[in-house]
Amino acid sequence: MTSTLFITGATSGFGEACARRFARAGWSLVLTGRRAARLQALSDELSALTDVHTLELDVRDRHGMEQAIATLPTKFDKLRGLINNAGLALGTDPAPKCNLDDWDTMVDTNIKGLLYSTRLLLPRLIAHGRGAGIVNLGSIAGTWPYPGSHVYGATKAFVRQFSLNLRNDLVGTGVRVTNIEPGLCESEFSLVRFGGDQAKYDATYAGAEAIQPEDIAETIHWVLEQPPHININSLELMPVSQTWAGFSIDRSAK
Ligand code: NDP
Ligand code: 8X3
């Protein structure tokens, strides 16, 4: 039986690389994102390898998600995998300088969007049973604090705990749950975070030999292809160049 994979945020970065990796492995794909032209181009490319269904979807749109998932073509309705990848960070300013709209966007996308796709697709994953799996995109920011991470890091801490909690509720179904927690990876993530500022993007990755989206796709493929009795609970990855900066001490006390 062909395995089917649902990917949120397949129009760039990790999601796009996962689409290519799993297409090469023969999985059929449901690819989602807001940018229709990119979905179409990816579908055109991968349709030579496998069956592809695209959904132009904003994960924050609960009604749209409900509709699209309820009406998935029968060919794609029995899912073996879900990659909850759609997400973003906006800005690195300290909290007092931040804009509440940006905070709303991160919470609505990284937390609520992930909850919608998970809850709506769970029955299909459970119907597949043994060997099925959910891979959530957490981050090192969900564990390690750093200045300017505030809400973004907190959304990823939510994803981490939700992933662990979900495992308990899925016991006996055969459905696995994994939280992938990457560090510095080169993708449009930083262009989005810095509002399209190419100079800041370049400075972020200069000389760092950052993890590439293809590296993450390889890791996720490995996770989902583990023998069905194994659950990788969480997996933290950093480029070798990235370590911890140590504690910061304010020395302005008189
Ligand atoms: P990209 O910016 O390259 O990709 C983000 C994807 O999410 C795009 O396909 C985008 O599609 C989609 N997306 C964003 N908002 C929405 C929305 N409202 N509805 C639907 N889709 C949406 O980033 P990455 O590939 O690097 O990041 C993917 C995930 O990995 C994110 O959750 C991120 O937080 C996490 N991560 C990234 C790291 C990094 O350093 N790059 C490290 C650790 C975790 P579209 O715009 O077309 O909707
Ligand atoms: C993205 C990695 O370190 O920029 O989640 O927060 S980091």
Q: What is the pLDDT of residues 161-185, one digit of tens each?
A: 999 999 999 999 999 999 999 999 9
Cβ of 87 less than 6 Å from ligand 1: yes
C-alpha separations of 2 from 29, 71, 76, 87 in Å: 10, 20, 10, 28
What proportion of the chain, given as a percentage, has pLDDT over 70?
Answer: 100
| Strand ranges inside 28-87, DSSP E | 28-33, 52-56, 81-84
Q: How far is CA 141 from the centre of its chain?
A: 13
* CB proximity list for 99: less than 8 A, separation 6 or greater: 91
Any idea which ligand is nearest the CA of 242?
2
The sign one gets for the Cα dihedral 82, 88, 94, 97 is negative
Q: What confidence score (pLDDT) does residue 98 get? A: 98
Beta bridge partners of 237: 182
Half-sphere exposure of 43 (CA within 13 A, CB side): 18
Active site amino acids: 152
Query: pLDDT of 42-54, one tens digit each?
Result: 999 999 999 999 9
Strands 133-137 and 81-84, sheet pairing: parallel
The overall average pLDDT reported for the chain is 98
- Is the per-residue pLDDT at 102 higher than 90? yes
Cβ of 33 less than 6 Å from ligand 1: yes
Q: State the closest ligand 1 atom to the C-alpha of 17, by its place in the atom list counted from 1.
A: 25
Which burial class, exposed, middle or buried, applies to 29 when counting CB atoms under 10 A from its CB (0-12, 13-18, 19+)? buried
* Contact assessment for residue 62 and residue 116, using Cβ atoms and an 8 Å cutoff: yes
The CATH number that domain 4-182+214-237 falls under is 3.40.50.720
* Residue among 200, 92, 70, 210 nearest 141 (CA): 92
Q: State the closest ligand 1 atom to the C-alpha of 34, by its place in the atom list counted from 1.
A: 48
Strands 81-84 and 176-182, sheet pairing: unpaired
